[in-house]
Chains A and B, each alone.
Chain A
Amino acid sequence: MFLEQLVNGLTLGSSYALIALGYTMVYGIIQLINFAHGEIYMFGAFAGLFLVTLFDVNIFVALLGAMAFCMVLGMLVERVAYRPLRGKSSRLSALISAIGVSIFLSTLMALLRGTNTTRYPEILKIHTYHLGPLELSSLQIIILLVSALLMIGLQLMIQRTRLGKAMRACSQDLDAASLMGINPNRIISYTFAIGSALAAAGGVMVGIYYNAVWPYMGTMAGLKAFSAAVLGGIGSVPGAMIGGLTLGVLEILGVAYLSSSYKDAIAFGILILVLIVRPQGIMGQKITKKV
């Protein structure tokens, strides 16, 4: 029972982690809470649904297609709504702009598809495996494996490639990075693309797992993923992964052993408690204030 809930929690948590990565990467570079990120996740889920219903593709093609679509969408949002604001306005104006994009995107999808939930067609034969006391569905295995692959890939990219190096430089100091010949606008654009692709992967997998997508699914998922990012220490990539998994596991355990009607409150309650004890999040570095 406990092990099963743990696996359920990890499955949910890996989707939070995938979304949280986008928040934390964008935040790390331009200190913006990208409120439209939840909507990108929602668009990813719908893009996957679209591919599956119209072209009858398998889960991996749907995943890749949705990721490619959201990469473009993420870069577009950054270009239209955030770049014009950069440098000449406070962070709060950018935040309001992000909220505007979020309202715009969710309404757009509601107009296109209606506000009802759509079910994902059955694209995967679901087997259940028994490992001793543990029950695992093939879908859970796929979700855990794909998330793990994506996160390892991301970590390798950030640590090993030129692009990753440039991203790390930008997150340390945007001005100094641009003096070293890095084009910050391009790096920011790529960051949005990568974050959005990860969110899209999360969206497709959650859509299949819970067998439901709807235009307002991004709001709550976005809030929870953001709290996962803050929990892990915002701006830190491993922090977002740990924060997402922790939040997912604790939420599922809370629902299983405490009360299901307080489901949404559990995640936020944990977050507040952790932040009061450790204000910089789990993996965040404490920044000493300097005059």
Chain B
Amino acid sequence: MDALLSQYIDAYYLHLMVLIGINIILVLGLNIITGVTGQLSMGHAGFMSIGAYTAAIMSVHLAFPFWASLLAGATAAAAFGFLLGLPTLRLEGDYLAMVTIGFAEIVRVFFLNFEPGGKAVGLSGIPEHTGFTLVWTMALLIIVLNAKLLNSRIGRSFYAIRENEIAAEAAGINTTRLKVLAFMIGASLAGLGGGLYAHYMTYIAPQDFGFMKSIELLNMVVLGGMGSIPGAILGTIVLTLAPEMLRIVAEYRLLFYGALLVLLMIFRPNGLLGDIRWYDFKKRWFNKGVKTWPS
């Protein structure tokens, strides 16, 4: 399938599409933590690097089959998600954000000094197992599962925690367990994305997973519209392609990227799809009644 595609599609576009697929998996994970449950996490790249390094080390040093190492990466990340989820019981808002930043930085410094991971040089020679087909099959599967999850009892409890934690608790939701669960699901998706990334790029280094990577992922969630799956996907596509499109302006690329973020937030403060509800469209299209002024 991949061979067939590469005959018809330019390698560069194929590469971009694979990156979008991987980013969608990562962003949907962060979306569950930050967008849906409302726990500001600015250390998503930390989970991603745990998944990437675990999977890569198992493939390279221990010669595990690809699937097993991918699964191990996701599990390891989920375990750290559990650990990082625990402080959320006591911390909230920006204190939590700071803890997640600190966590990601500690993970990065750890891998900078981690012998089996090749220290600052990074780990190369990871077998290439990931291609367009695999990434997008996974991404579609995860989108569907995500939609199912968010519509379930658990997903609705997540939204309830975001909207009002005290009210959610009063309504009988075990907020503690659900917040930790949100962190675990989000982290495992990040770990999965990291594993895929490692087996696609065949080379990883600690600086790939720095603070800016976490910020980039957070931007995608917020830009698309908090907590909405179509929003997260759109945000991912726009912000993965934006730096590529901005290649025409060469070294001014990041300058425009920064300005773009500011402008988008000024003109679409709730994200691209944040305040659009399908319900409104339905009502507009199927409304046969007389138009009245909005009350």
Q: Main secondary structure on chain B at its contact with chain A?
A: helix
Nearest B residue to A289 by beta-carbon distance? Answer: B166
CB proximity of B85 to chain A, nearest CB, Å: 13
* B223: nearest chain-A partner, CB-CB: A96
In the complex, B261 has a CB within 8 A of chain A? yes
* Cβ B261 vs Cβ A97 within 8 A: yes
- Chain A, range 74-121, C-beta contacts under 8 Å to B: 80-81, 84-85, 88-90, 92-97, 99-105, 107-108, 111
- Give complex CA distance A100, B211 in Å: 14
- B90:A96 contact, CB within 8 angstroms: no
Contacting residues, chain A, for B211 (C-beta < 8 A): 219, 223
Q: Which of A126-134, A154-162, A259-267 contacts B (4 or more CB under 8 A)?
A: A259-267
A261 to B112, CA, bound (A): 8
B258 contacts A226, C-beta separation under 8 Å: no
Find chain A residues with CB under 8 A from B90 CB. 276, 279
Q: How far is the CA of A108 from the CA of B253 in the complex (A)?
A: 11
- Which residue from B98, B105, B106, B218 sits with its C-beta under 8 Å from A275? B98
Q: Is there an interface contact between B262 and A104, defined as CB atoms closer than 8 Å? A: yes
> Closest residue of chain B to A111, judged by CB?
B251
Of A96, A97, A262, A268, the residue contacting B102 (CB under 8 A) is: A268
Q: Tell me the complex Cα distance, A116–B26, Å.
A: 33
CA distance A99 to B40 in the complex (A): 15
Check B98 against A271 for contact (C-beta < 8 Å): yes
Tell me, rounded to whole Å, the shortest Cβ–Cβ distance linking B222 to chain A. Answer: 5
Residue of A nearest to B43 (CB): A268
Q: Are A108 and B105 in contact (CB under 8 A)?
A: no
Given A265-B110, A272-B99: A93 touches B94 (CB 8 Å cut-off): no
Which of A21-50 touch B at CB < 8 Å? 27, 31, 33
Q: What residue in chain A is nearest B260 (Cβ atoms)?
A: A100
Of the candidates A31, A92, A275, the one whose C-beta lies within 8 Å of that of B95 is A275
Q: A100-B265, A272-B102 are in contact. Are A33 and B254 (CB under 8 A)?
A: no
- A124 at the binding interface (Cβ < 8 Å): no
14 intermolecular pairs with C-beta atoms under 8 Å apart: A81-B262, A96-B222, A101-B262, A102-B258, A107-B255, A107-B258, A108-B255, A227-B98, A230-B95, A268-B105, A268-B106, A269-B106, A275-B91, A281-B95
Name B's A-contacting residues (CB within 8 A).
40, 87, 90-91, 94-95, 97-99, 101-103, 105-106, 109-110, 112-113, 166-167, 211, 215, 218-219, 222-223, 226, 251-252, 254-255, 257-262, 265-266, 269-271
Identify the 8 closest CB pairs spanning chains A and B, nearest first. A100-B261, A89-B269, A104-B258, A268-B102, A103-B258, A265-B109, A100-B262, A107-B254
Measured CB to CB, the residues of A under 8 A from B are 27, 31, 33, 80-81, 84-85, 88-90, 92-97, 99-105, 107-108, 111, 219, 223, 226-227, 230, 234, 261-265, 267-269, 271-272, 275-276, 279-281, 289, 291
